[in-house]
Chains A and B, each alone.
Chain A
Amino acid sequence: MKTRKLSELAKTIRSKNAGVNLITFDVIFTERSTYERVKEARVLTRETVGKLYRVPPERIVDFVEFDPANAIKFTIHRLRPSGSPGDPDIFGAQQYAPLLDIEVPTG
């Protein structure tokens, strides 16, 4: 089966703090049809994200398919609150990279 990378299909893939102890991830598509295709492919779910980030399910506090913005969004608990010693990403802004290479079946 043919696949394409999520980075080729999504307009925006980003991560950012949502408060001091959570990081939230947004994957936003321009076209409704692309968004629907990614949803149906089930490559971006609570389970796949947990596996990719090695995060147990209880640390994923929200997982939302947000139709108004053609977006898939999830939020994970930090290992330690933002800015604690050893926290390398105070804003949580560079945690999205592993999502870029997710393979989405296209045909």
Chain B
Amino acid sequence: MRSLRIICPNGHLGFAPIRVESFRLGVAARPDYIAADSGSDDVGPIPLGTDTSTSPLAWQTHDLEHMLLASRQLGVPMIIGSSGDTGADSRVELYVRIVKELAEKHRMPRFKLGYFHSEVGKDELRRRMRAGEAIEGLEGYATLTEEELDATERVVAMAGVHPFIKLLEEGADVIIGGRSSDSCVFAAPAIHHGFSEDLAYYLGKVLECASFCAEPYGGKETVLGEITPDAVFVTAMHPEQRCTVASVAGHAMYERSNPYFEHVAGGTLDMSDCRYEQVAEKTTRISGATFRRAAEFRVKLEGAGKIGERYVGMVGIRDPYTIAHVDEVIGWARDKVRERFGQENEGGYELCYTVYGRDGIMGEQEPLRDRPAHELCILVQGVAPTAAMAEELCMIGTRQMFYARLPDVKGSAGSVAFALDEVLRASPSYRWTINHTVRCDDPLELFPTHMTVAGV
């Protein structure tokens, strides 16, 4: 094969809908594959913890329908990674169901539907830990302890290219993947067709976010990547967008700590010696990437653990004196919560105040935190083991700000303004408990693959 071409219509399928116009242009270019990633840990730990999607079902279905129709019409495979935001088993099953329903709805001729799971049982991790295997922490996380494992609700492993390649070898026409590295969704077919790992992983890197590698800025537009034995070419499909040396090189930095390296299961893509060349108005050619296989095959794990139920309240402050003493107002309310529920650590609850108008977005990193605005909005979050306790805790923490006693305040009828004199139930609070790697002997051992049939 001299060249392989893949279109990517969405950097996070379902999170916001595909823009259809540039997708149609991409399909008209007759690619060999249609692929997209559908997940991210960007959405925080709640979806993984609660086993839900943050993307609405309607948008997930919209994107899958457009891709599936084009894939069947062209007779080329379609690949989805990290199904349903988290890539958990329930999300894979959801996408398999959607694809089957769409195939029936459109009376599509029968096709092979491959899928794989990425969830890892806590017992399996415990067994490995007790056998002396260190589950090593990333980015400042300590080596995993059984205590942290116990505090975890659900764990997914991040697949590399391996389960995708296995399903392609078995002749899958559509692949629904569990949690997987974004770039591997695209690297897998390129490697499957015999292209070098060096360029295949780069192809994946540049395509994973769709039009984020193009300019002017505009997400959810289709881009087309082509791999040859010597280079990768990336072309924007939207009439107004172009893939330029600046936009493509700039994208190498996006969402990663270091612009030169991308770590995936089994190795590292090194972009230090990449050469970028504008070869047509909308197309940039990239060469010089290298992929180094790791000495030890380690797979990244993501796990979310529940902290508790959560309620939120909101207050406003306009009096400049009260604004200057807002920490005392918060302190007063915290005291009242302590009187009812004890100290934060001992009482098993968390009470958080976010002071918008002062340092709400940056906290202690805010350089201007000593220059608050003329009005403040304070978000109060109460997290506790039960919903009833979270509600009362949040209510005390919110309403008692109204009664805060400041020595020289002129207004003595209430220290804060309420737009809502109530507290509202929010999603339960979760945290990332696991951000670790585990050693594997077999690249497929955490990713069982399955094949079924869809269509009529």
Q: Residues on A close to B: CB < 8 A?
A: 12, 16-22, 24, 26, 28, 30, 52-55, 61-62, 64, 66, 68-71, 73, 75, 77, 79, 81-86, 88-91, 94-95, 97-98
For residue B326, give the distance in angstroms from its CB to the closest CB of chain A.
16
- B332-362 contacts to A, CB under 8 A, are 350, 352, 354, 360-362
> A-facing mask of B7-47, CB < 8 A → 1, else 0?
00000000000000000000000000000000001111110
Instruction: Contact check, B435 vs A86: say whether CB atoms are below 8 A apart.
Output: no
- Name, among B138, B258, B352, B379, the residue most crowded by chain A CB atoms within 10 Å (CB to CB): B258
Known: A68-B274, A69-B249, A71-B250. A85 touches B255 (CB 8 A): no
Q: Is the CB of B256 closer than 8 A to any CB of chain A?
A: yes
Instruction: Contact check, A95 vs B255: say whether CB atoms are below 8 A apart.
Output: no
- Name, among A19, A21, A28, the residue most crowded by chain B CB atoms within 10 Å (CB to CB): A19
For residue B433, give the distance in angstroms from its CB to the closest CB of chain A.
9
Q: In the complex, which residues of chain A have a beta carbon less than 8 angstroms from the beta carbon of B41?
A: 17, 19-20, 82
Q: In the complex, which residues of chain B have a beta carbon less than 8 angstroms from the beta carbon of A18?
A: 255-257
> A-facing mask of B134-161, CB < 8 A → 1, else 0?
0000111100000000000000000000
Q: Is the CB of B307 closer than 8 A to any CB of chain A?
A: yes
In the complex, A16→B310 CA distance in Å?
A: 26
Instruction: Contact check, A19 vs B257: say whether CB atoms are below 8 A apart.
Output: yes
Q: In the complex, which residues of chain A have a beta carbon less than 8 angstroms from the beta carbon of B274?
A: 68
Instruction: Contact check, B255 vs A24: say whether CB atoms are below 8 A apart.
Output: yes
For residue A36, give the distance in angstroms from its CB to the closest CB of chain B.
15
Residue of A with least CB distance to B273: A68
- Name, among A52, A81, A95, A98, the residue most crowded by chain B CB atoms within 10 Å (CB to CB): A81
Residue of A with least CB distance to B366: A98
Size of B's binding interface in residues, CB under 8 A: 48
Q: Is the CB of B381 closer than 8 A to any CB of chain A?
A: yes
> A-facing mask of B223-250, CB < 8 A → 1, else 0?
0000000000000000000000110011
Instruction: Contact check, A22 vs B139: say whether CB atoms are below 8 A apart.
Output: yes
Known: A85-B381, A86-B354. A21 touches B45 (CB 8 A): no
The number of A-B residue pairs with CB atoms under 8 Å apart is: 139
Instruction: Contact check, B249 vs A85: say whether CB atoms are below 8 A apart.
Output: no
In the complex, A22→B435 CA distance in Å?
A: 12
Known: A19-B138, A54-B364, A77-B139. A85 touches B259 (CB 8 A): no
Q: Is the CB of B365 closer than 8 A to any CB of chain A?
A: yes
Q: In the complex, which residues of chain B have a beta carbon less than 8 angstroms from the beta carbon of A69?
A: 246, 249-250, 252-253, 259
Q: Residues on B close to A: CB < 8 A?
A: 41-46, 138-141, 245-246, 249-250, 252-260, 274, 276, 302, 307, 310, 350, 352, 354, 360-368, 379, 381, 383, 429-432, 435
Residue of B with least CB distance to A24: B257
Q: In the complex, which residues of chain A have a beta carbon less than 8 angstroms from the beta carbon of B366?
A: 98
In the complex, A68→B275 CA distance in Å?
A: 8
Instruction: Contact check, A68 vs B252: say whether CB atoms are below 8 A apart.
Output: yes
Per CB-CB distance, the 5 closest pairs between chain A and chain B, nearest first, are: A83-B44, A86-B352, A69-B249, A68-B249, A21-B139
Q: What are 13 residue pairs bridging A and B, where the CB atoms are less than 8 Å apart in the complex? A: A16-B254, A18-B256, A20-B435, A21-B138, A66-B259, A69-B250, A71-B249, A77-B140, A79-B363, A85-B381, A86-B350, A91-B42, A94-B362
Instruction: Contact check, A94 vs B429: say whether CB atoms are below 8 A apart.
Output: no
Q: In the complex, which residues of chain A have a beta carbon less than 8 angstroms from the beta carbon of B362?
A: 88-89, 94-95, 97-98
Instruction: Contact check, A52 vs B367: say whether CB atoms are below 8 A apart.
Output: yes
Residue of A with least CB distance to B308: A85
